[in-house]
Structure 1
Amino acid sequence: MAGAMGIMCSLLVNAVFGLVMMALVAIADTYFHWRGHNLSSVWRRGLRGDERMNRILRYTLERRGHRVVYARTVPGHGTIDQLVVGPGGAFLVQNDAWHPEAELSVHGGKLFIDGRTQTAMVKAVTGAAATAGALISQQTGMDVKVTPIMAVHGGRLTKAPFTADGIVFATPFKALRWLRKHPHADYSPAEVEMIAQAAIHRLPIGGRTMTSAPPTAA
C-alpha cells in the first residue's frame, strides 16, 4: 500500500512528495495494525481485563482523590471487579473481553452483541450495582446510587461510550473519562472515604464479613 502510494504521488507530483506520502501511509498502517493487536490482546490471552483495569485505576483515579475497592462479593450476585467512589458518585466497574470481530451495539436502549440481546449479563451487572448501592446506603445512612459501567477489552463498539439497559459500555480509558464527566453526586472527601469503608464492610472478600463497623453519617 505504501509503495503504491509512493509511486502514484511521485508520478503526479515529484519523488520527494512520493517518499513523504509513502512514509505516512506506512506509519498509519503500522499504527492501525498495532492498535487492533493491542485491543485484542486481553481476549487472545484468555483474560477478562480486570487486572489491566486495576493497573489503570491505580495510576489514574486513585491519584486524583478517588477510592477504589477491588474484587468484592455482592451477596446474591457474585464478585464485582471494582467499585470506584469519587466526588461525582459511586460506580461499579465490570470488565470483559470479546473476540475482536464481536460487535457491541445499542438499539432501542437495549444491548446487542452480534445481533443478540444479553439478558443474563445485563441482569447480573445491574442487579449487583443496585444491591451494592442498597447495602452501602444502609451502612452510611446516605442515599448512595451505584452506576454500572462495563469496560470493554476488545470487540467493536458501534460507538463509545454508549448506554444500554442501564449500563455504560466503553473501552477502559473512555470509561474513566465518562465516569469523571458524568457525576451523579457531590461527595466531600470525608463522604468518599465513608462510602468506601462501608463498601469494604458490606461487600466482603470471598464471603467474609467485617466485624468492626465503619463510620456512619451523622
Structure 2
Amino acid sequence: MFGSSIYLRGRDAFTGGSPQAVYEELWQRGRKSRLRTRAILAALTLLSCSALVNAVFGVVAALLVAAADTYFHWHGYNASSVWRRGLRGEERMGRLLRHTLERRGHRVLHSRVVPGHGELDQLVVGPGGLWLLRNDAWHPETEIGAHGGQLFVDGRTKSAMVRELVETAATAGALIAERAQIEVKVVPVLVVHGGKLRKAPFRADGITFAPPLKTVRWILRNPVADYSDDDVETIARAAVHALPIGGRTMTAA
C-alpha cells in the first residue's frame, strides 16, 4: 500500500481499529483533559501552600505537583510502548540482560529452538541456575494475578499457555542435562511488558511472573543451584548444541 511504512509493514498494531490504534487515539483525545487537571492541581497547591507558608514555597510545591502528575501519566504511557508497537518485548529484554546479568557473568542465549515446542526468547545460564524467559506484552488495563496458585488474566485462566511454557522448560532442561552431563533444572519465567501485575513478582502454575527489571532482580535473589564458573561455561555450551537456532542442529567440534 502506498504511503505505508516499510518498517511497520504487516504489524497488526498499526492497522485501523486495532486495540493499539484505539488506545493511541483515546490517549491523544485525553491530552486536553490531562493538562486541565494538571493545571488545577498545581493552582490549588500554589494557593494553599502560599497561604500556609509563603509564596516561594507555594511555587515550588506547585511545580513538584505538576511534575509528579506529568511523570505519572508518562510512566503509564511508556509502560505500554512495547504493546503499542505490536511487539512482545524480547528485544527490550535482551538489551536489559546484556547490561545487567551478562555483566555479572551470566550467559544468555537468544531465540533458541526447543525441539517439539518451538522457539524460546532467552535462556539465562548463571551461577544460580537456568531460567527460560518468555516475553509477552499486554494491554495497560489487563489485570494479571494469581489466585490459589493459579494464573488469572482478566479473571480467566490461561491453562494452555502456562502448560506449554512449563513443558518447554522441562524439555530444555532434559536436553541440556543430557548434553552437559550435569543435573540442571530450567525455571520458566514469563516477563510481562505492560498490564497490571498484582504483587509482582509472583508464582502461579509453576511459573514466575514479573516485569523486566524485577525479573532481573528476582533471578539474582532467588538462586536454584550453585554452579562454578566452569559449570556455567559447560552448561552454556551444552545449551548451544542442544537447542539449535531456527531448527538447525549443532554437532560437536
- Alignment of 1:2 onto 2:47: no
Alignment correspondent of 1:30: 70
Q: Which one is further off, 31-40 or 79-88?
A: 31-40
How far apart are residue 75 of structure 1 and its match? 1.0
How far apart are residue 17 of structure 1 and its match? 2.1
How far apart are residue 12 of structure 1 and its match? 3.1
1:44 is matched with which residue: 81, 84, 95?
84
SS in structure 1 at match of 2:240: helix
Alignment of 1:165-204 (within 5 A): 165-204=205-244
Q: Which one is further off, 17-26 or 78-87?
A: 17-26
How far apart are residue 6 of structure 1 and its match? 1.4
Q: Which runs of 5+ in 1 are unaligned?
A: 214-218
SS in structure 2 at match of 1:185: coil
2:199 is matched with which residue: 149, 159, 178?
159
1:94 is matched with which residue: 111, 134, 147?
134
Alignment of 1:93-112 (within 5 A): 93-112=133-152
How far apart are residue 152 of structure 1 and its match? 0.7
SS in structure 2 at match of 1:18: helix
2:247 is matched with which residue: 181, 204, 207?
207
Q: Which runs of 5+ in 2 are unaligned?
A: 1-40
Q: What are the Cα deviations for residues 45-67 of structure 1, in whole angstroms up to 9, with x where unaligned? A: 00000000111111111111000
Query: 1:203, 1:158 → 2: CA distance?
Result: 33
Q: What are the Cα deviations for residues 87-145 of structure 1, in whole angstroms up to 9, with x where unaligned? A: 00000011010000001011000111101000111011111101000111111121100
SS in structure 1 at match of 2:203: strand
Alignment correspondent of 2:5: none
Structure 1 segments, 4+ long, off by >4 Å, are none
Query: 1:5, 1:112 → 2: CA distance?
Result: 40
Query: 2:235, 2:147 → 1: CA distance?
Result: 34
Q: Which has the higher contact order (CA 8 A, sep 6+)?
A: 1
Count of aligned pairs = 213
How far apart are residue 16 of structure 1 and its match? 2.0
Query: 1:24, 1:141 → 2: CA distance?
Result: 58
Instruction: Work out which of the two has the higher radius of gyration on C-alpha atoms and give 1 or 2.
Output: 2
Q: Which one is further off, 22-31 or 85-94?
A: 22-31
- Alignment of 1:81 onto 2:115: no
Report % sequence identity. 64
The letter of the residue matching 1:210 is M
How far apart are residue 31 of structure 1 and its match? 1.3
Q: What are the Cα deviations for residues 20-66 of structure 1, in whole angstroms up to 9, with x where unaligned? A: 21011111111111211111000000000000011111111111100
TM-score (normalised: structure 2)? 0.82
